[in-house]
Structure formats: structure tokens, C-alpha cells
């Protein structure tokens, strides 16, 4: 990743959002020039308006939203961070939000409504026209993070017996088709999908050809209850632009589009990254109280497991009293073990998520990780052994230091791969829980091996 924050020189440049523009808007609002602020916001795309609102502080945002009332693109609501959206929805009130939700595709409408308080959601939904409300409520009935939530309900479908010309005429003459579609579904009389027609092939085929003759007969179909992570894997594997979603009886219920899946792909890796870093999510916009609360539980778990270190160390109090050098060096062993374990863990969690670490190669990967840990353990054992021995003028201390390093870095690698594999077996998300376990192991073994070896060899 390069951190190049120069603006992108594209045709959309003038409509883009930069840090300077955010500051300009904030300054205009602070200075009371709301019309000036609106002039800057006007040319922005919905997604940029959302990014702007995410970055303003609560007061500025609320002033700007009030000024934009009635002119705010419905898409902006869909693109806001959850915690910001909550506040904007509250400010706009149920009627205005209902109008926006009605304009959106089902998947975006569901995105807006899913994370609201039950009460707020009900009051918004009550103001949505019946037909849209029914569709949205149906989607909301599917589990969070399932294909049913991700899909939009409008799609284009034609029967297999039609000619390309008939299908073209249908597209020309039919009102109410979805705004965007990336493939045409081919369905039988029972609404079961029997194939798909990519638009490029559709365009290149003459009017007389039969749809059934040029369609792809083996479409990737997504069961409506499938987890969104699995949906994303299908899209990535088969380079899909969109995919039909089928209900329990195999009927076409909706379609998932690549742009929604792109968000899922990013979110799923981000989620793993957040969990490895000990946070629930990486969103910036939550309040201090919410953020502190959500991190507290993580830190509490860490504190409980961090008790292992004092317990181990306290059993060697006598040794430390005899030789304070032990207290000086012991954090180094623990720290190197922690880092080594985190390295293995990071690779393992990602490999599990992408299904490149499976039962088929787990044994080999464990062996490899242990060899890597032991190889680096040996290298650092020599380094710290020599340095430590010289520093304190005690070769035996060097040997204990180096020996502990070798033991702990090997154990760290083993823990880094076995802990996530074990959690998967227990059907627990390895990203959430692994790092605490791994550092507990490396702390315990680090202090135990160093203090134990020292007590034995040096004292």
C-alpha cells in the first residue's frame, strides 16, 4: 500500500472529495455561510456527500443536514457509517427517511433500516408504501449477512424459447425494469433459472438467434440463506458480475450485484483485521463512550489472561531476588515470542478465511510453521545468548536466555497455528479469539522457560 494522497486526476476530479474540501465546508458552516457550504456539496456524488458527513463533527453535520433537508439523495443514507446514519435518521424523522428508503433498491433500503433501533425502524416502515414495505420486510426476515439480505429483488428474466430479437424488444418496451442489470436471466415457466445471458454476448448475437442457444447453461446460483462470505468467495472464484439468488424451491428470488459483494469482500478482511487487532470494528465515527465500551471487554479478556504472567513470575521470586538481571531480560523473551506467534497467527487466520488452509494441508502447514519458528528461534537464541552473556558477564545466563528464546519462539509458532485451527474445529471465528490465547501461551512459556532455565543453570 502506498499512502499517496494526491487527488486523482480524472474527469471526476472536480466532483471529488478531498480533505481540503471537507475543511472548507466545515469552515463555511462554522462561519454561518450555509449557502456557500451547499454550493460546495452540490456537485458531489452521493458517496462523497456521505464521506463528508462521516467526517464532520456532530454539530456541523446536523446544521448541514437541516439545510439539505428535502434535497439529500437517498443513496447518501445508504452510504453513511452506521453510527452517523443513526443520528441523521433521527434528525430527518420517519417521514423523510421513509421517502428515501422507498427510492432505494431493496438491498440498500435494508442496509439503511437493518441497524436502526426496532422502534425507529417500525416508525419508518409504517410510512413506506405497502408494496415496497412488503419487499423490505421480506428481506429483513433473512439472517444478517445472508444472501437474502444482500440481494435486490428486481431482475430481468426472459424465457429460453425467445429469440434475441424478442428479448431486445422486451427490453425496449417494458417499463419498470431495474436501473442497472449485468446479465439477463433465462427462466422456465416455474421461474426456475435455467441459464444466464451475459450482456456482451446478448449484444453480439443476431436477432434471429434463440436465447436458449446462446445462454450459459450452468449459472452460479446462490441459495438465499448462504452466508455473505461464501457469496463473496463464489464471486471472486468465478469472476461474476452478478448472480441469481434462489429460494428453497429453486425459484429465482433476486440478484446479487458485484458492487455489493465488493463491500462484503472488504468488510470481511477488515473484520478479521479488526479482530486480530482487538477491536470490534474499524469504524471511526462511533462516540467515545461506545468505542471505549466495545474495547473494554477485549481488554478485560486480555487482563484476565495476563494474570498468567504474574503467577508464573511469582513462583520464581526467590530467583529474581538473587539475580535482578532475570527481571531485566525476561520481557525480551516474552515479547519476541508474542511477535513470532502473531506472525503465524496472522497468516493462519487469513489462510483459513480464504480456504487455502484446510484439512487437506493442515498437517503440512503446522509442520512448516513450527520449522519456521524454530529456525528463527535458533537464530535469535544465538544473538541474544551472546549479547546477554557478555552484557552480564555470565555465559550461563546467555545460555538460559538463548535457550528460552528458542523454546518460546517454537512454542509461539505452534500456538499461532494450532489455536486458530482448534477454534475452527469448535466453530468459533479464529480471528476473534486467537490472539489472546496465543499471547497467553507465549507469555507463560516465555517467563517459565527463561526463569526456569536460569534458576537451573545460573543460580
58, three cell numbers? 456532530
∠ CA 145-196-355, rounded to 5° = 40
Nearer to a copy of itself among residue 95 and residue 262 (C-beta): 262
Task: Please provide residue 327's backbone torsions phi and psi, each rounded to the nearest 5 degrees.
Answer: -65, -30
Residues facing 255 on adjacent strands: 152, 244
Q: Considering beta carbons, is residue 34 or 170 the nearer one to a copy of itself?
A: 170
Site pattern 338..357 for a copy of itself (x: CB under 8 A): -xx-xx-xxx--xxxx-xxx
Q: Return the bridge partners of 187, or none.
A: 159, 193
Identify which of residues 2 and 119 has a Cβ nearer to a copy of itself in the complex: 2
C-beta closer to a copy of itself: residue 89 or 401: 401
Q: Of the candidates 130, 141, 176, 200, which one interacts with a copy of itself according to CB under 8 A?
A: 200
Choose which of 126, 134, 188, 259 interacts with a copy of itself (CB under 8 A). Answer: 259
Q: Which of 111, 447, 452, 458 binds a copy of itself (CB under 8 A)?
A: 447
For 211-245, give one letter per residue: b (16+ CB within 10 A) or e: bbebbeeebebbbbebebeebbbbbeeeebebbbb
Between the two ends of the chain, the Cα-to-Cα distance in Å is: 50
According to the 3-state scheme, what is the secondary structure of 65-109? Answer: HHHHCCCCCHHHHHHCCHHHHHHHHHHHCHHHHHHHHHHCCHHHH
Which three cell numbers, joined as nine digits, stand for 116?
436502526
**Sheet with 193-198, side-by-side order of all strands:** 157-159, 183-187, 193-198
Task: For a copy of itself, give the closer residue by CB, 71 or 427.
Answer: 427
Torsion of CA 351, 275, 262, 4, to 10 degrees: -100
Establish if 182 lies at the interface with a copy of itself (CB under 8 A). yes
Site for a copy of itself contains 30 (CB under 8 A)? no
Q: Which of 71, 130, 189, 427 binds a copy of itself (CB under 8 A)?
A: 427
Q: Residue 73 CB, nearest distance to a copy of itself (Å)?
A: 14
Q: For a copy of itself, which stretch binds (CB under 8 A), given 33-41, 96-104, 130-138, 164-172?
A: 164-172
Closer residue to a copy of itself (CB): 125 or 353: 353
Chain positions 260 to 319 lying near a copy of itself, rule: CB under 8 A, are 261-263, 265-266, 268-274, 276-279, 282-284, 288-289, 291-292, 295-296, 298-299, 302-303, 306-307, 309-310, 313-314, 317
- DSSP, collapsed to helix, strand or coil, labels residue 183 as strand
348 closest CA partner among 429, 283, 240 = 429
Displacement of CA 372 from its chain's centroid (Å): 29
Which is nearer to a copy of itself, 98 or 106 (by Cβ)? 106
Asked whether position 188 contacts a copy of itself by CB under 8 A, the answer is: no
Of residues 103, 199, 213, 390, which one binds a copy of itself by CB under 8 A? 199
Interface with a copy of itself (CB under 8 A), residue from 203, 208, 249, 393: 203
Determine how β-strand 157-159 pairs with β-strand 183-187. Answer: parallel
Q: Which is nearer to a copy of itself, 72 or 197 (CB)?
A: 197
For residue 102, CA distances in Å to 98, 136, 137 come to: 6, 9, 12
Binding of a copy of itself by 145 (CB under 8 A) = yes
DSSP state of 227: B
State the CB neighbour count (10 A cutoff) for residue 438: 28
Stretch of residues binding a copy of itself (CB under 8 A), selected from 28-36, 100-108, 111-119, 172-180: 172-180
Sites for a copy of itself among residues 52-111 (CB under 8 A): 54-57
Q: Residue 397 CB: number of other CB atoms within 10 A?
A: 25
Q: Does 450 bind a copy of itself (CB under 8 A)?
A: no
Stretch that binds a copy of itself, among 29-37, 108-116, 123-131, 429-437 (CB under 8 A): 429-437
Q: Which is nearer to a copy of itself, 122 or 355 (CB)?
A: 355
The β-bridge partners of 152 are 255
Report the nearest approach of a copy of itself to the CB of residue 349 (Å): 8
Q: Decide: is 3 part of the binding site for a copy of itself (CB under 8 A).
A: yes
**Distance from C-alpha of 241 to C-alpha of 184, rounded to nearest angstrom:** 12
What x/- string results for residues 361 through 400 when contact with a copy of itself is judged by CB under 8 A? x--xx--x--xx--xx--xx--xx----------------
Counting contacts by CB under 8 A, is residue 334 touching a copy of itself?
yes
Rounded-to-integer distance, Cα 455 and Cα 323, Å: 10
Report the nearest approach of a copy of itself to the CB of residue 166 (Å): 13
Using the rule CB under 8 A, which residue among 198, 212, 395, 422 binds a copy of itself? 198
Amino acid at each position: 500500500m502506498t499512502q499517496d494522497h494526491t487527488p486523482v486526476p480524472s474527469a471526476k476530479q472536480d466532483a471529488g472529495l478531498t480533505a481540503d474540501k471537507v475543511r472548507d465546508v466545515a469552515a463555511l458552516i462554522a462561519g454561518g455561510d450555509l449557502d456557500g457550504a451547499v454550493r460546495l456539496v452540490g456537485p458531489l456524488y452521493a458517496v462523497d456527500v456521505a464521506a463528508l458527513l462521516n467526517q464532520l463533527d456532530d454539530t456541523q453535520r446536523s446544521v448541514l443536514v437541516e439545510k439539505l433537508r428535502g434535497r439529500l439523495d437517498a443513496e447518501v443514507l445508504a452510504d453513511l457509517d452506521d453510527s452517523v446514519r443513526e443520528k441523521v435518521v433521527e434528525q430527518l424523522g420517519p417521514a423523510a427517511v421513509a421517502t428515501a428508503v422507498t427510492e432505494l433498491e431493496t438491498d440498500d433500503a435494508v442496509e439503511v433500516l437493518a441497524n436502526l433501533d426496532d422502534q425507529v425502524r417500525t416508525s419508518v416502515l409504517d410510512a413506506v408504501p405497502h408494496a415496497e414495505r412488503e419487499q423490505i420486510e421480506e428481506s429483513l426476515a433473512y439472517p444478517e449477512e445472508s444472501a437474502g439480505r444482500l440481494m435486490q429483488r428486481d431482475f430481468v428474466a426472459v424465457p429460453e424459447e425467445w429469440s434475441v430479437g424478442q428479448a431486445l424488444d422486451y427490453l425496449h418496451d417494458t417499463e419498470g425494469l431495474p436501473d442497472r442489470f449485468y446479465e439477463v436471466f433465462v427462466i422456465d415457466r416455474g421461474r426456475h433459472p435455467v441459464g444466464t445471458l451475459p450482456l456482451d454476448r446478448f449484444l453480439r448475437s443476431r436477432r434471429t438467434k434463440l436465447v436458449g442457444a446462446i445462454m450459459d447453461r450452468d449459472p452460479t446460483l446462490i441459495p438465499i440463506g448462504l452466508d455473505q462470505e461464501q457469496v463473496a468467495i463464489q464471486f471472486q472464484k468465478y469472476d461474476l458480475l452478478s448472480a441469481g439468488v434462489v429460494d428453497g424451491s429453486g425459484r429465482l428470488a433476486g440478484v446479487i450485484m458485484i458492487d455489493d459483494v465488493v463491500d462484503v469482500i472488504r468488510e470481511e478482511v477488515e473484520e478479521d483485521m479488526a479482530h486480530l487487532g482487538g477491536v470490534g470494528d474499524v469504524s471511526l465515527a462511533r462516540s467515545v463512550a461506545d468505542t471505549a465500551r466495545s474495547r473494554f471487554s477485549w481488554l478485560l479478556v486480555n487482563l484476565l489472561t495476563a494474570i498468567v504472567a504474574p503467577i508464573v513470575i511469582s513462583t520464581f521470586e526467590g530467583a529474581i531476588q538473587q539475580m535482578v538481571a532475570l527481571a531485566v531480560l525476561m520481557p525480551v523473551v516474552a515479547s519476541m515470542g508474542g511477535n513470532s506467534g502473531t506472525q503465524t497467527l496472522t497468516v493462519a487466520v487469513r489462510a483459513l478465511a480464504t480456504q487455502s488452509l484446510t484439512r487437506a494441508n493442515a498437517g503440512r502447514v503446522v509442520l512448516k510453521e513450527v520449522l519456521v519458528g524454530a529456525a528463527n528461534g535458533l537464530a535469535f537464541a544465538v544473538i541474544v545468548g551472546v549479547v546477554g552473556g557478555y552484557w552480564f558477564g555470565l555465559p550461563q545466563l546467555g545460555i538460559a536466555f538463548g535457550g528460552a528464546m528458542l523454546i518460546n519462539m517454537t512454542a509461539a509458532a505452534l500456538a499461532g497455528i494450532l489455536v486458530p485451527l482448534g477454534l475452527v474445529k469448535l466453530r468459533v471465528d479464529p480471528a476473534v479469539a486467537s490472539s489472546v490465547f496465543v499471547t497467553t501461551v507465549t507469555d507463560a512459556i516465555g517467563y517459565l522457560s527463561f526463569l526456569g532455565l536460569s534458576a537451573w543453570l545460573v543460580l
